[in-house]
A = this chain, B = another copy of it.
Amino acid sequence: MTELLWGKEPARTRGPKPAITLTAIAEVAIAIADAEGLDAVSMQRVAGELPVTKMALYRYVPGKTELVAVMSDLAMGGPPDRPDLPWREALHTWAIDLYDGFTRHPWLLQSTIGRRLLGPNELAWIERGVAALTGTGLSGGEQLDSILVITSHVRNIAQQSTTFPGHTTGLTEEDMQQSLAEILATEADRFPHLTTAMRTSAGSENQGLEFGLARILDGLELLISGRTG
């Protein structure tokens, strides 16, 4: 598994040449997931867009789980190159870059959750984030926890703002808003604070990313300045 993710070739010897490659499989799978969602990625479907049958894929990949891991790390890519900046600006652009990545491949939000083996690209993202915090006086654990908080925020904002191709119940943002409005209209007495909060949040759409990011970075700044000064 680690070998798959990190691209160690098994040093071929005898036997027929493989008809395809692991990356070709992953690229096809990524294209399907981008177009129709992660749930549309099945071994059948992937093999159908390659000159092989379903079972041939198992010569390249132990199972579906591993295929998803490989395609995820590949689609994620590494963090884009950015000029050196003070830690706060660096982390800010890092977060925005991460957000862009998730909006490019929304299914990454599904496939990169929970305990899993980390691939080179995912690790490169972490490396970049930690790098921004070196020299701030934070301990290693604090650095890791810090970028974890930011990642959590970015992920959840991306999750709520992105529209998934497949899988989900097919609700639009309007459906949710309307359903919520109806409920609050009939049960306003059960949710008084929420009702007034919704009323005074009319036009403030899609500010969630920057708002939360500003709070988290403010909190970090407080800690860092207290640590160095």
Contact = CB atoms under 8 A, between A and B. Distances in A.
Given A114-B164, A152-B157, 5 more contacts: A116-B171, A141-B207, A152-B156, A218-B219, A219-B219
Nearest to A154: B152
A177 to B, nearest CB: 10
A134 B198 CA distance: 12
A139 interface: yes
Contacts of A168: 114-116
A144 B197 contact: yes
Given A169-B115, A197-B144, A219-B215, A183 B2 contact: yes
Interface stretch (A48-56, A96-104, A124-132): A124-132
Interface residues of A, number: 72
A200 interface: yes
A13 interface: no
Contacts of A124: 190-191
8 nearest A-B residue pairs (beta carbon): A215-B219, A141-B201, A141-B204, A140-B200, A152-B156, A140-B197, A140-B201, A219-B219
B143 A197 contact: yes
A173 interface: yes
Contacts of A145: 207-208, 211-212
A139 B219 contact: no
B118 A149 contact: no
Contact of A208 (B148, B212, B219, B222): B148
Q: Of residues A141, A176, A217, A218, which shows the largest number of chain B Cβ atoms within 10 Å of its Cβ?
A: A141
